[in-house]
């Protein structure tokens, strides 16, 4: 069975590694780790190894080359539900209860994460407990029992998340999911990994079994092991996984999202005192390709995750105190509110440039929409300035210094280093890898290269905008009117801020009425994506 790995094009050459560069390979020879080659593990097909002799921990990261993009139509959420069931239920050797009993004294467990293109099963154990843990972990993937009662439990938890939690726990995360849904409509990336309410409701245990049978194949998964394991361990582990059958997996083509034509807007009606905002557009650069590091650096300047010096944060939070933070991304970053660390194992063949404005609160009963629109305008204006003007030399140098130093914190744990190595394999970067490359790449890049990448890939004309707010109809009118939306401050502001406010408050966001769609919160992700610019739904009571 051929597996697809992206071949990385050499940096500095003109050719870009677009979708056409994906090559078929009959093997996953991903070889030895980069951390401690002195451990001398032999190369073992279908493994990613990261030996760290003397470490008291052993980390596992088994990568199954399947993701939500592979969900059959009408069965959105199946890949994720399959992985959830495998990671949280009994095996042919143990019931779920017995598993809990055995894992508990080790103070560990394993978990599965399903993203668009990859599903990973991960866990870390103290080396004292390696054999006991590994047996349970292995069985989860190789010997699932598929008991109906386990399925019912996991599905009920999933349904509760889809019907309630996703809509009512974190509006800011929901706005990001809606952004991806809208940018990727009509493609395999459109639906959220967890699926829609209606699609998951219809899933059965037989669906899961079939999905497992078709995708959990010996030649469709990579066994990642890192830390202080015995030298003979990987050979043994890989042999265990080779007990899975071989088979053909039809590879879902990479999505090719259409660039929005002008500004397309999704508004969600919800009873709230604060608006959640995301906007963005597709870009055609992913890790391992030309311009990747340059864009990464330019975006770091614009909106590095949870870092206070970046431009969006400075303009919206630091100087104006409008919200908790403002960031931007050139790679998917699910659950950004939970962590300051970069995500791992969310590798994708298509990415978007995403702006995340954290919730904007009202400060009196009438100013929520003015503040919301002001924040959107402020961020949009910064993006446009960057796209139009590029970065001055000194700003590039300042950001290079930061990123060069900061990158040493990326691989903070064995599991993270291992997960990065898995991502390297996804992107075809196994020779050096992201952690090894990022610092030299940053050091070597010139302002001219950075600005060329900005010029090539960043823009502010075509955009998808998502806002979750109260009285969405009123917000829609305000957005269409183009009216000035000044904000007031609790304290004195210097004249230069007030002068800039005048520009921000009238910054044009050209939207056509037919490009604005309003959804009630209870419609969000209920079923398959509505057609573009559907008739605005009547708001319904959310109680």
Partner 1 sequence: MQRLLLAAACAVALTIGAGAASAQEDDVGRQADGIFPFPYETFDLENGLRVYLVQAGAPGQIAYVTMVRTGSREEVEEGKSGFAHFFEHMMFRGTDKYPNYDGITEQLGAARNASTSDDWTRYYLVASNEYLAKIVDLESDRFQNLKYAEPAFRTEAGAILGEYQNSAYSPFAVLNREIRELVWTMHTYRHSTIGFEADVRAMPEGFAYSRSFYDRFYRPDNSVLLVVGDFDPAEAERLIREHYGDWKPGYQAPQVPAEPPQEGERKKVVEYPGRTLPIVTINYRAPAWSATDELAVATELLGPVAFGPNSEIYRKLVIEEQRVQFLQPNFGLQRDPTVVSIAAMVSDPADVDAVRAELLGAVEKARTEPVDPKLLEDTKSNQKYGFLMGLETALGTAFSLTQPIISTGGIEAVNDYYRTLDGISPELVQKAAQEILVESGRSLVTLVQGGES
* Residues 321-380 close enough to bind partner 1 by CB under 8 A: 321-325, 334-335, 337-338, 340, 358-361, 363
End-to-end Cα spacing for the chain: 51
Task: Please state the φ and ψ torsions of residue 226, each to the nearest 5 degrees.
Answer: -140, 160
Using rule CB under 8 A, residue 491 touches partner 1? yes
**Minimum CB distance to partner 1 smaller for 193 or for 291:** 193
Q: Return the residues of window 95-114 that contact partner 1 according to CB under 8 A.
A: 96-97, 100-101, 104-108, 111-114
Q: Which of these, 308, 121, 112, lies nearest to 222 by C-alpha position?
A: 121
**Minimum CB distance to partner 1 smaller for 41 or for 68:** 68
Work out how close the CB of 514 gets to partner 1 at its nearest, in angstroms, rounded to a whole number.
Answer: 30
Task: Report the residue from 319, 477, 478, 484 that binds partner 1 according to the rule CB under 8 A.
Answer: 319
Work out how close the CB of 85 gets to partner 1 at its nearest, in angstroms, rounded to a whole number.
Answer: 10
Cβ distance 217 to 184 under 8 Å? no
Work out how close the CB of 2 gets to partner 1 at its nearest, in angstroms, rounded to a whole number.
Answer: 27
Q: What sign does the CA torsion over 90, 96, 102, 106 have?
A: positive
Contact region with partner 1 (CB under 8 A), list: 281-289, 401-409, 427-435, 451-459: 401-409
Gap between the Cα atoms of 222 and 29, Å rounded = 9
Task: Report the residue from 215, 320, 377, 457 that binds partner 1 according to the rule CB under 8 A.
Answer: 320
**Minimum CB distance to partner 1 smaller for 88 or for 291:** 88
Burial class (CB within 10 angstroms; exposed 0-12, middle 13-18, buried 19+) of 477? middle
Cβ distance 345 to 423 under 8 Å? yes
Q: Return the residues of window 258-287 that contact partner 1 according to CB under 8 A.
A: 271-274
Size of the site for partner 1 (CB under 8 A): 93
* Tokens coding 207: 């669906």
Q: Return the residues of window 431-450 that contact partner 1 according to CB under 8 A.
A: none
Q: Return the residues of window 194-213 that contact partner 1 according to CB under 8 A.
A: 194
Q: Which of these, 198, 206, 214, 201, lies nearest to 247 by C-alpha position?
A: 214
Work out how close the CB of 210 gets to partner 1 at its nearest, in angstroms, rounded to a whole number.
Answer: 19
**Minimum CB distance to partner 1 smaller for 111 or for 444:** 111
Gap between the Cα atoms of 352 and 267, Å rounded = 20
Task: Report the residue from 414, 449, 451, 469 that binds partner 1 according to the rule CB under 8 A.
Answer: 414
Contact region with partner 1 (CB under 8 A), list: 218-226, 313-321, 419-427, 512-520: 313-321
Using rule CB under 8 A, residue 398 touches partner 1? yes
Cβ distance 65 to 240 under 8 Å? no
Task: Report the residue from 309, 446, 448, 512 that binds partner 1 according to the rule CB under 8 A.
Answer: 309
> What is the SS3 string spanning 198-246?
HHHHCCCHHHHHHHHHHHCCHHHEEEEEEECCCCCHHHHHHHHHCCCCC
Gap between the Cα atoms of 250 and 65, Å rounded = 11
Work out how close the CB of 112 gets to partner 1 at its nearest, in angstroms, rounded to a whole number.
Answer: 6
Could you give the string, one character per residue 78-97, with x where binding to partner 1 holds by CB under 8 A and - elsewhere? --x--xx-----------xx
**Minimum CB distance to partner 1 smaller for 260 or for 539:** 539
Burial class (CB within 10 angstroms; exposed 0-12, middle 13-18, buried 19+) of 259? middle
**Minimum CB distance to partner 1 smaller for 139 or for 158:** 158
């Amino acid at each position: 069975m051929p597996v697809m790995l992206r071949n990385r094009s050499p940096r500095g050459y003109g050719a870009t590694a677009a979708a056409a560069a994906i090559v078929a390979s009959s093997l996953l020879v991903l070889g030895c780790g980069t951390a401690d080659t002195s451990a001398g593990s032999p190369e073992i097909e279908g493994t990613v190894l990261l030996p760290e002799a003397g470490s008291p921990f052993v980390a596992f990261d088994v990568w199954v080359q399947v993701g939500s993009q592979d969900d059959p139509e009408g069965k959105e959420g199946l890949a994720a539900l399959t992985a959830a069931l495998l990671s949280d239920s009994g095996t042919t050797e143990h019931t779920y209860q017995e598993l809990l009993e055995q894992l508990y004294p080790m103070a560990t467990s394993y978990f599965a994460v399903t993203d668009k293109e990859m599903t990973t099963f991960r866990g870390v154990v103290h080396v004292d407990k390696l054999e006991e843990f590994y047996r349970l972990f292995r069985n989860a993937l190789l010997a699932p029992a598929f008991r109906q009662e386990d399925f019912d439990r996991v599905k009920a938890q999933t349904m509760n998340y889809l019907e309630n939690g996703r809509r009512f726990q974190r509006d800011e995360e929901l706005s990001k999911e809606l952004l991806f849904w809208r940018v990727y409509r009509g493609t395999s990336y459109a639906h959220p990994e967890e699926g829609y309410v209606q699609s998951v409701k219809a899933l059965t245990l037989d669906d899961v079994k079939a999905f497992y049978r078709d995708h959990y194949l010996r030649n469709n998964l990579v066994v990642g092991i890192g830390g202080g394991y015995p030298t003979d361990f990987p050979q043994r582990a890989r042999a265990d996984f080779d007990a899975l059958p071989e088979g053909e997996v039809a590879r879902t083509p990479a999505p090719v999202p259409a660039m929005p034509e002008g500004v397309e807007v999704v508004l969600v009606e919800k009873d709230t005192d604060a608006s959640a905002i995301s906007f963005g557009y597709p870009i055609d650069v992913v890790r391992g390709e030309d311009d990747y590091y340059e864009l990464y650096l330019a975006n770091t300047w614009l909106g590095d995750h949870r870092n206070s010096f970046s431009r969006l944060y400075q303009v919206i939070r630091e100087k104006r105190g409008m919200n908790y933070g403002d960031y931007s991304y050139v790679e998917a970053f699910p659950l950004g509110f939970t962590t300051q660390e970069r995500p791992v194992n969310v590798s994708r063949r298509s990415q978007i440039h995403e702006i995340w404005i954290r919730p904007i609160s009202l400060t009196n009963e009438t100013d929520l929409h003015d503040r919301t629109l002001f924040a959107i305008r402020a961020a949009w204006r910064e993006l446009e300035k960057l796209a139009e003007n590029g970065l001055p030399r000194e700003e590039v140098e300042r950001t290079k210094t930061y990123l060069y130093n900061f990158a040493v914190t990326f691989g903070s744990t064995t599991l993270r280093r291992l997960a990065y190595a898995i991502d390297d394999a996804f992107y075809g970067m196994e020779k050096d890898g992201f952690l090894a490359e990022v610092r030299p790449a940053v050091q070597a890049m010139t302002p001219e290269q950075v600005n060329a990448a900005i010029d090539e890939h960043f823009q502010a004309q075509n955009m998808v905008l998502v806002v979750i707010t109260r009285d969405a109809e009123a917000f829609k009118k305000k957005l269409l009117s183009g009216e000035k939306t000044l904000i007031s401050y609790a304290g004195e502001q210097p004249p230069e801020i007030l002068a800039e406010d005048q520009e921000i408050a009238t910054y044009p966001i050209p939207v056509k009425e037919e490009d604005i769609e309003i959804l009630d919160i209870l419609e969000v992700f209920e079923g398959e994506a509505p057609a573009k610019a559907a008739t605005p739904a009547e708001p319904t009571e959310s109680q």
